[in-house]
Amino acid sequence: MTGPSGAEQDTGGPVGPYGGRVLRRLVTYRWALEPALGVLLLVCWLLFGSVADAQGASVVSFFCGALALSRVAPGVALGLTWCAAFIALVGPHELGSTFGWMAYIAVLLTLFGVAAHGRRAVLWLALASAPLLGFAGAFVLDTQNTLAFPHFGPSFGGLYASYGIALLLMWLVLTTGLCAGWLLGFLVARQRGSPQTAGASVLVWLAQSGGAAVDGSGQDSGMLVRRLSPRQLIADVSIAGAFALGCAITGVSPRPWILVTVGFTIAVALRRISPAVALAVAWFAAIVQMTSGLGVQFSDVGVLIVLYATAAYGDRIVRWSGLVSAGVGAVVAALYLSVSSALDSGYFNLVSSRIAALALQFAFLFVVSATVLGLSWVLGLLMRTWRTAIASRRAQAEAEVERLRAQEDVVVEQERTRIARDMHDVVAHSLAVVIAQADGARYARATDPDAVDEALTTIASTAREALGDVRLLLGELRHAESEGPQPSLADLDRLVDQLRAAGLPIELSREGADIALGSAHQIAAYRIVQEALTNALRHGDTTRTATVDLDGEPNGVTITVTNALKDQPAPDGSAQRVGHGLPGMRERAVLSGGWLTAEPHGDRFVVRAFLPVPAAVRQGGGA
């Protein structure tokens, strides 16, 4: 990312600032990863493989070459993969179990690279190739007795019925793994071109096609690797540790069980930070479990946790991939458990008489598996809906606060405009007096010198008062509006009579010295009393008396307006409406150099304001 000044900001993304810098430095050498993996696979075959014929060597070379070219030439890599698969199908050579699984990993990584870097046609051709390559792999592994699947059932041309069941089961398992690798590459490719997410994680960096890696700050919903808080990371690691401990307590199997447990533990740890990766790892662990002949164990709970996470935290593709995985997993699990149970019970010694029981068992296991797996996914979807609803309510509340704030700003602006209109009359009156006195003094200068002094005194006093009014109100002037008579403190009696006639009993009292305020301050005092009594009429208890007290002092006047509150409280959750009253009263008091408070006290609402006497008025009175 770049800041306002154009300098690059190292936000780090989900991998942290240091990790982001490392990825940016290594992206220059990103092109060498796939060739290095291909060379590594070839070296492993030379050290541990057992292929001695030319056809076997060509299979190895094609698989390694496909992996090496999966980034720079995805179409060529897919073609080499098909050539290797075809030679493996028709050749009489023996690949061996070790290289058989190495070849499967090479095909899986090749499909990942093709999905991450290939064009649209090559990308979807790779997806269509996944089930075909899965069938080829299952056929090779089964015919070469890589899988020790027992022979049972009737024989047709030397092939037992168990051969078809084993082939179907292995095809489902291998195809699922290949599709998971393709899906992971597809998800990575969606973010490679986005400047907000490219380079934000190691997996996205793996799909970089060149250029500098950019740290991302995208939203969690679109990230392959989600941003989690330290507390969430600690919680996920702790849960994964507890899961591994539970597996260790309940598990007693040898090496394959350890590999399965490690796979499911990694999937549980990654379920929130990357649901897509967690789903792929869970599928790999399940494949190892089934190909190793292991039964149901405690670690299978990890499948339920991962399915829940795909629905709760994954984006749209990952979410629906979780649902598809639940359905496919139910079929595979039911078939695997049915066949295992049938072998243990000796069903296939009497196939014709027990096939109905086997089909019924498969149907029962499918329903149970689909229910359990689907329920986990649905619970995750419900959690996602609940979180979305909470976020929606929070956003709605924030929008309501913004609306009220904007409405209050509008009210204040309208009140300022109204104050500007009041100033128009005040300044016009003062200037008219100044002009009249100046003209009179000019004409009386020769005949009556004393009148000149009196006129100049009046001009000075009026100018001081007008200057004070201008200082208070000129900053709020927006548009000049039509002239009209403006109220003063002398009009309070008429205002009180009007509100009494409207149904609000009022007591008005004036105490202290005579109140000597300028025109602008008198308008402010009148408006404050008017708005306070209007609010009392609208929102208060009109059966009880409201009071208006004006306490005059030499330095200003204190205004106190109280009214009784209604007994019924406002409905819960309803937003308090912002009117012209409180913001306008407070604005007028502040512009006049005073202050205003408005708050409930017991069962009454009290508005108290203080307006100072302008210095010009005090000086004029002292003259």
- Are the CB atoms for 271 and 305 separated by under 8 Å? yes
Give the C-alpha separation, 150 to 160, whole Å.
9
Q: Closest by alpha carbon to 24, among 199, 203, 194?
A: 199
| 44 plus 118 within the same structural domain | yes
Domain for residue 364, yes or no? no
Domain for residue 467, yes or no? yes
Please identify, among 429, 451, 476, the residue that sits at the C-terminal boundary of a domain.
476
DSSP at 357: H
- Are the CB atoms for 192 and 207 separated by under 8 Å? yes
- Residue 583 belongs to domain with CATH number: 3.30.565.10
| Residue recorded with tokens 């935290």 | 313
b (16+ CB within 10 A) / e for 438-466: eebbeeeeeeeeeebeebeebbbbbbbbb
Model pTM score: 0.48
CA distances from 464 to 387, 426, 468 (A): 64, 13, 6
For 238, the token pair is 């702790």
| 452 plus 512 within the same structural domain | no
Give the C-alpha separation, 263 to 244, whole Å.
10
DSSP at 8: B
| 539 plus 422 within the same structural domain | no
CB under 8 Å to 443, separation ≥6 — which residues? none
- Residue 464 belongs to domain with CATH number: 1.20.5
Give the C-alpha separation, 334 to 172, whole Å.
12
| 35 plus 169 within the same structural domain | yes
CB under 8 Å to 347, separation ≥6 — which residues? 341, 354, 357, 358
Give the C-alpha separation, 159 to 165, whole Å.
12
- Are the CB atoms for 609 and 559 separated by under 8 Å? yes
| 55 plus 196 within the same structural domain | yes
User: What are the helix (H) ranges across 447-573?
Assistant: 449-473, 492-501, 519-539
Per the structure, the count of domains in the chain is 3
| 516 plus 433 within the same structural domain | no
Give the C-alpha separation, 328 to 174, whole Å.
12
Domain for residue 370, yes or no? no
Would you call 18 exposed, middle or buried from its count of C-beta atoms within 10 A (0-12, 13-18, 19+)? exposed
Low-confidence residues in the chain, pLDDT < 50: 1-19, 148-161, 195-200, 209-222, 350-352, 477-484, 570-580, 622-623
Which residue type, as a one-letter code, is found at position 555?
N
Domain for residue 165, yes or no? yes
Give the C-alpha separation, 88 to 148, whole Å.
19
- Are the CB atoms for 379 and 308 separated by under 8 Å? yes
Domain for residue 443, yes or no? yes
CB under 8 Å to 110, separation ≥6 — which residues? 63, 66, 67, 70, 77, 78, 81
Give the C-alpha separation, 38 to 561, whole Å.
87
pLDDT per residue over 175-202, tens digit each? Answer: 888 888 888 888 777 766 554 444 445 5
> Residue length, the chain?
623
Please identify, among 224, 252, 280, the residue that sits at the C-terminal boundary of a domain.
224
Q: How many angstroms separate the most distant Cα atoms in the chain? A: 145
Please identify, among 224, 245, 260, the residue that sits at the C-terminal boundary of a domain.
224
| Residue recorded with tokens 């016009």 | 428
| 546 plus 451 within the same structural domain | no
| 461 plus 567 within the same structural domain | no
Domain for residue 328, yes or no? no
| 447 plus 591 within the same structural domain | no
| 565 plus 521 within the same structural domain | yes
Domain for residue 119, yes or no? yes
Residue 221 is predicted with a pLDDT of 45
- Are the CB atoms for 342 and 150 separated by under 8 Å? no
- Are the CB atoms for 19 and 12 separated by under 8 Å? yes
Domain for residue 188, yes or no? yes
Q: What is the DSSP string of 124-170?
A: HHHHHHHHHHHHHHHHHHHHTT-S-PPP-S-EETTEEHHHHHHHHHH
CA distances from 591 to 30, 407, 454, 520, 579 (A): 66, 21, 32, 10, 19
* DSSP helix/strand/coil, 246: helix
- Are the CB atoms for 197 and 220 separated by under 8 Å? no
- Are the CB atoms for 184 and 305 separated by under 8 Å? no
Containing structural domain, residue 416 = 410-476
| 193 plus 71 within the same structural domain | yes
The pLDDT mean for the chain works out to 74
| 538 plus 441 within the same structural domain | no
